[in-house]
Chains A and B, each alone.
Chain A
Amino acid sequence: EAQVTQNPRYLITVTGKKLTVTCSQNMNHEYMSWYRQDPGLGLRQIYYSMNVEVTDKGDVPEGYKVSRKEKRNFPLILESPSPNQTSLYFCASSFRGLAASTDTQYFGPGTRLTVL
């Protein structure tokens, strides 16, 4: 089954404690992306990656890091989480960034992060 998986689904942590949210896709997609969703703000793109070892900043990259060492994985790293990073996080992937009319962006189930 084609899917994007995220782990963990729920996480409560404390300020300053480094954490990683994993994202993995099994569709051999080149394009992967991270978003955060906040009430009243919609989804905002954090980082995206067009392919292995290629990453770019989205709209709100501050406080986040990503890496793309393998095609299937795109972890989101919070080196020193702060309460303003409490949010719902989505990972997404698509074949080539939706430039092809047959392409579509698959979203993971979301990770609810709370930073105390």
Chain B
Amino acid sequence: AQTVTQSQPEMSVQEAETVTLSCTYDTSESNYYLFWYKQPPSRQMILVIRQEAYKQQNATENRFSVNFQKAAKSFSLKISDSQLGDTAMYFCAFMKLTTGNQFYFGTGTSLTVIP
């Protein structure tokens, strides 16, 4: 079975600073996708960034970037120039591609950006 672990239940960062959220996963699959989702107080789930396991280059989306270490099964999210609107719950997710596209989510990290 696949597992996704987010070991930081809560984090805080000063506005304009950089913060890194950690995520590790366990799988025997060789082909899979990884995602970071943001859930603000509105409860809506918003895709932040995605990474294909076969790609060695780390994905970036504006202020958001990942550090993908396949051998270590680590997938951390770096948020640069943190903004108040980044305050949210962040979920790391794993999707395996064999036998259908089954999703596994971590337990989430609650991030607070302090003005």
- Which of A45, A88, A104 interacts with B103 by CB under 8 Å? A45
Minimum CB–CB distance from B103 to chain A (whole Å) comes to: 5
Contact A98 B105 (CB under 8 A): no
- Name the residue of chain B whose CB is nearest to the CB of A107: B45
Cβ contacts B5-47/A at 8 Å (1 or 0 each) = 0100000000000000000000000000101000000011111
Cβ contacts B88-99/A at 8 Å (1 or 0 each) = 000101010101
Contact B45 A92 (CB under 8 A): yes
C-alpha spacing A26/B102, complex, angstroms: 22
- Which of B50, B97, B102, B107 interacts with A41 by CB under 8 Å? B107
Chain A interface category by residue count: 20 to 34
Minimum CB–CB distance from B29 to chain A (whole Å) comes to: 14
Mark B residues whose CB is within 8 Å of A. Answer: 4, 6, 33, 35, 43-47, 50, 52, 91, 93, 95, 97, 99-108
The 17 listed contacts between A and B (C-beta, < 8 Å) are A31-B101, A35-B105, A41-B107, A42-B91, A42-B107, A42-B108, A45-B103, A58-B102, A88-B43, A92-B45, A98-B50, A99-B101, A101-B50, A104-B47, A105-B47, A109-B43, A110-B43
